[in-house]
A and B are shown apart, each in its own frame.
Chain A
Amino acid sequence: MSGAVATADKPRAVSDIGAAGRFLFWAGVVLLCAWVLVPIYLLAVNTLSSPQEVTAFPKTGVPSFDMGSIQFFLSFEGVLKALWNSVLVAVLTMILSIAIGAPAGYALSRFEFPGKATFRMLVLMTRAFPLPLLALPIAVMFIRIGLDDTPIGLALVHTTLAIPFAVLITFSIFSGIPLELEEAAWTLGCNRLQAFQRVVLPLVLPGITASAIFAFTISWNEVFAASVLTVQNRTLTAFLLQSLSVSPLHLRFAGGAALVIPALIFIFAVRKYMFAMWGIANR
């Protein structure tokens, strides 16, 4: 890019800044990609090595594809249950946040009504608050109503984290569907619900799925509230956090990998929507 700076009076596209500039540019791209990918690769190396290799020194940086660490992790007491709890809580969060957030997003995108600004404020306000700390008083509330240490209890708190996103994301998705389409359906014989089912729903389904996956990821990754609210029914993050100081290294790395892999898949699945989702964060 230095080449482009030198000829500042005649700015050019990347394709013709000259060999040196192009080399520097691509070196930068490769470096940035390496910055992101190499740490993940190193975690994979440790996960795919035997427990002995994980604590051995020095490291080669090449995996031996020994399943020892993974077997140890999976057979460790509580791990499978924690995995199951994580999935359960995340699925519940996903369902709850879409079921509660999407109607609100639809209302915001389609109606003008008194109180709309107040509701938007309430949603945006959640952004300035350290939400996971909510778990402290909620833990007490849950003990009183018998929801303590249950997947549904934790899912309710995770839903609180996910709802502001679900509302704003579905709002932008619904806003992307012209009202005219719904009105056309009304003039063609649909009532509101039929028009929603036959016209809006098929068009927003991919976007709603993406935001559901997003809610899943929020819950899957959450550490603090999970650690506060669960004792027997730990999620994977809570389980790993609790055992960090006592568990052997290979357990931590395999656990880390177990956290990372679904997240990688999810991010890949929603990659197209990533920018649509965060674009609205600007408003």
Chain B
Amino acid sequence: MAEILIKGVAKSFGSFTALHSIDLTIADQEFMVLLGASGCGKTTLLRIIAGLESPTQGEVWIGGKRVDQLPPRERGIAMVFQNYAVFPHLTVYENIAFGLRMKKLPQAEVDTRVKRTAELMHIEQLLKRYSGQLSGGQRQRVAVARALAMEPDVILMDEPLSNLDALLRLEMRAELKGVLANSKTTTIYVTHDQVEAMSLADRISVMNGGHIVQAASPVEVYRNPAARFVGSFIGNPPMNFLPAARNGDGRYQVAGIALDGPSSGGAKLEFAIRPEDLTIAAGGLKATARVIEPLGAHTLVTSEVDGKLFRAVLDSDLKVAPGDELSLVPKPDRVRWFDPETTRAVN
């Protein structure tokens, strides 16, 4: 049982604040992804949980034990590093056995565990090799096997797939998901890749500027972004935003059309819609097409609405040329509203 509790964890490097008082609970056996652009503090948070960095303030609890003053080796964690950190002077076997030998496990037990995890990661034929004789993908497997062999309560992964090429990444992603689901460990996984986050996570914590902006399931994060940042960061292409103002009859005026807004909204709001939630029909937003990019199944149309950039993902049968006037109607149940002052969602 390893629930992870993060209470008011903050970290500053000199005058730079990397993390502002983070509170987060990660359930036992949950797969939590920390997602954000570089410099958002996600790796710092992971390293604080690992014990490689100490928090300026706050507490970290793993499995009911307070660990923020303990060295990494006493936290019951294992970690997979971005550059794999496979020890170059040891064979694959000795790499996987490294942590087990530190625990002073009997040789028979070491051998069983090494063989078992090596098989799990499909590297049993590489056990006698050195890191220099392995490909990037194989090193990755060794790093994961080394972590799994520890049978830790918590596995921490720092952008483990970012150094693999696109195809291999796809393959490893699926494999990791399978292996980790069976291992019954709590996983914290850091990435800047939203697709990776969506496909792996039970829950995603979207981070920005040292804050957790939203922590929720992948679908929730995608459909109901808690803040403007989440909508603009997640989704490719990202959400469209337009300014909206309440008119005399309580509706919201968006680029010339009137829409029903949230009852609790103020005089000014920001209208948001995902590009795939637009259809061509009369009475919609007046858009001038600028760039047309056919993507196979869909066509991405970059247009201008009221002088603002506005993207729509439309059916590829549609014939559009640059300069065409389009009328784009947002699906009513997919429209989201944000407060322009706080940037938080308004319901």
Answer yes or no: A and B touching, Cβ < 8 Å. Answer: yes
Question: For A180, what are the chain B residues with a Cβ–Cβ distance below 8 Å?
Answer: 81-83, 85
Q: Residues of A contacting B78 with CB < 8 Å? A: 187-188
Chain B stretch 69-92: residues in CB contact (< 8 A) with chain A: 71-73, 77-79, 81-83, 85, 87-89
Contact, CB under 8 Å: A183 / B81: yes
Q: Give the contacts of B43-72 with A (CB-CB under 8 A).
A: 50-52, 71-72
A199 to B99, CA, bound (A): 12
Which residues of B are found within 8 Å of A202, using beta-carbon distances?
A: 89
Q: Contact check, A203 vs B89: say whether CB atoms are below 8 A apart.
A: yes
Are B73 and A191 in contact, CB atoms less than 8 angstroms apart?
A: yes
List residues 142-159 of chain B with CB under 8 A from any CB of chain A.
Answer: 146, 150, 156
Set B72, B82, B83, B89: member contacting A187, Cβ < 8 A: B72
A187–B73 CB distance below 8 A: yes
Q: Which of B94-123 contact A (CB under 8 A)?
A: 98-99, 102-103
Q: How far is the CA of A184 from the CA of B157 in the complex (A)?
A: 12
Contact of B99 among A178, A181, A188, A203 (CB under 8 A): A188
Using A191-B73, A202-B89, A203-B88 as known contacts, say yes or no to A183 and B99 having CB atoms under 8 A apart.
no
Contact, CB under 8 Å: A183 / B85: yes
CB contact list, B16-67 vs A, under 8 A: 50-52
A260 to B89, alpha carbons, bound, how many Å?
Answer: 35
> Across the interface, do A188 and B52 meet the contact criterion of CB distance under 8 Å?
no
B144 to chain A, nearest CB (A): 12
Q: Which of A121-138 contact B (CB under 8 A)?
A: none
Q: Is A2 an interface residue (CB 8 A)?
A: no
Residues on the B chain within 8 Å of A184, using CB:
79, 81, 85, 87, 146
Contact A189–B99 (Cβ < 8 Å)? yes
| A194 is an interface residue with CB less than 8 A from chain B | yes
A185 close to B (CB within 8 Å): yes
Residues 185-204 of chain A, each 1 if its beta carbon lies under 8 Å from chain B, else 0 = 11111110010001100110
Inter-subunit contact B98/A185 (CB<8 Å) = yes
List the B side residues contacting A187 at CB < 8 Å: 50-52, 72-73, 77-79, 99, 156
| Cα-based distance from A42 to B160 in the complex (angstroms) | 61
Q: Which residues of A contact B146 (CB under 8 A)?
A: 184, 188
B83 neighbours in A (Cβ, 8 Å): 178, 180
Whether the pair B73, A189 counts as a contact (CB closer than 8 A) is: yes
Q: Which residues of B contact A (CB under 8 A)?
A: 50-52, 71-73, 77-79, 81-83, 85, 87-89, 98-99, 102-103, 146, 150, 156
Task: Tell me the A residues contacting B by CB distance below 8 Å.
Answer: 178, 180-181, 183-191, 194, 198-199, 202-203
A-B contact pairs, 25 of them (CB 8 A): A180-B81, A180-B85, A183-B50, A183-B79, A184-B87, A186-B51, A186-B52, A186-B71, A187-B72, A187-B73, A187-B77, A187-B78, A187-B79, A187-B156, A188-B73, A188-B78, A188-B99, A188-B102, A189-B73, A189-B99, A189-B102, A191-B73, A194-B102, A199-B89, A202-B89
A-B complex: 8 closest residue pairs judged by Cβ atoms: A189-B102, A188-B99, A184-B85, A180-B85, A187-B79, A186-B72, A202-B89, A189-B73
